[in-house]
Structure 1
Amino acid sequence: MKTIDLTPLYRNSVGFDRFASLLDNAFRAESASGGYPPYNIESLEENNYAITLAVAGFTQDELDINVERGVLTIRGERAKAEGKHYLYQGIANRTFERKFNLADYIEITGADLENGLLTIKLLKRIPEAMKPRSIAINGQPRVAPELEKSVEEKNAELV
């Protein structure tokens, strides 16, 4: 199993305590899952993402999607085929569980199952309080340089 020394990160960062456990869990989950089912992660446009899993043969009732504490879990459990005698069985007919760690403010907006592909849509919504903002010094609001020009131009017009 791989280990990563994150000591340099902790010297310059605050609040990334969860980072080491995320990396550790990612390495452990990848080796345990054996790559089944295969999946894609797409960036559709700004703040919109999709995870697509190849779940051929699974019905909607055999799939379960849950989100708990920032972890998206997709489970598939096939019903046993009664009375079938296979001479060769090359189509995977096994239970699976695939987990994805979600960043803060990622929301699941929907899921679709079509042509053996399960697509889960995600959206990143950053709260207004977390968006970049300018901080006033000594109670004086800071004016952006481009706004400063337009204020000077307006004052020149008034004179």
Structure 2
Amino acid sequence: MGKIWRLQDIDPDNPEERFLPALQCIPMGPGMQRMVLPEAICRFISKHLSECGCPPIDPALAVKEYRPPTRGQNHPLNGDADWVPPGSPMPEPEHVQDPETLTVHAREAQLEKYRYMGYKVEKPPPPEPQAFEIDKLDDPPRFPPGEHTVT
């Protein structure tokens, strides 16, 4: 489960595996999301295509090849994977910006953008009230009890 299939990994004589590499991250059209299917469903489709008489995959006839996801988890359900012309170069890896390198203003702007996008980024809670000693407010005390008797 959770394996990205390559032609080298499959048994072309096994109907459930024959089409697994082609059933990953299926493009739906220009500008549309890709269809990602769980492995179990891909195995059912592969078996069905085999039973319908579809020949095994021939890499020599392929006009596109599978490129694994370039960001996020390397998993077949990651829709960042794509089908590209054979021999296409891999894109430059994306780097996540380190918030500690930003100014306070830039961090606030970035957090506000996340809030605008719908993320639940809570503002920090207000500081808890601090206890203080009463004598510090009344220093020196107006009535020093040690200097007087009960009477």
- Of structures 1 and 2, the larger Rg is shown by 2
* Fold equivalence (TM over 0.5): no
TM-score by length of 1: 0.23
Bigger strand fraction? 1
